[in-house]
Amino acid sequence: MASFLSFYCVTLIILAFTNLAPVMAAEELEVGGAAGWRLPGANETEMYSQWASTRRFLIGDSLSFEYKNDSVVVVDKWGYYHCNASHPISVYNTGNTIINLERPGPMYFVSGDHDHCKNGQRLLVEVNRVHQESPAPSPFSTSASSSIFSNLVFLYMILITASSIL
């Protein structure tokens, strides 16, 4: 009976602490959705800005670029705003490119074709950390300490109940 109680307590502790640290799964995001990485139409010059504005990019995610007769060029901020790919960080031209988002901050992508970029084939994504850190007045925020306290009280009550049964 004691081994059952030990197993029960350990299981409850594991369940309680897994609720304290939720896990985020990485995503592979297809740039441009079904349209892919292509020259936007005359009325679609903001299509990649609009696409990016509806998503949240996290470290660990990846961007999938599908394209024909074009390229994806990773550039700095200046290269993005001036459609200048003459000093690229990286260049891809395989037609199917996957780029991993490995650091927080902005990432800039343009088409290798200057005219395509000028007509809207460029993408800016802001990569975020999985858990955004917000400034807190104390090392332990009220909600975090309240959640931990609630879990500990719950565990204590389970232990009391289990020991009274025995």
State the average pLDDT for the chain. 81
Q: Residue 42: pLDDT above 60?
A: yes
Pair of tokens at residue 62: 């990846």
Amino acid type, 61: D
Closest CA to 29 of 6, 52, 3, 46: 52
pLDDT digits (tens, 9 = 90+) for 100-152: 999 999 999 999 999 999 999 999 999 999 865 555 555 554 444 455 666 66
Walk me through the domains of the chain, giving residue ranges and CATH numbers. 28-128 (2.60.40.420)
Per-residue confidence (pLDDT) for residue 137, from 0 to 100: 53
Per-residue confidence (pLDDT) for residue 19, from 0 to 100: 46
CB environment 53-88: b (16+ within 10 A), e (fewer): eeeebbbebebebbbeebbbbbbeeebbeebbbeeb
**Average pLDDT for 47-76:** 96
**Are 75 and 85 within 8 A, CB to CB?**
yes
User: Percentage of the chain surpassing pLDDT 70?
Assistant: 64
Q: How confident is the model at residue 21 (pLDDT cuts 50, 70, 90)?
A: very low
- CA angle 110/116/122 to nearest 5° reads 30
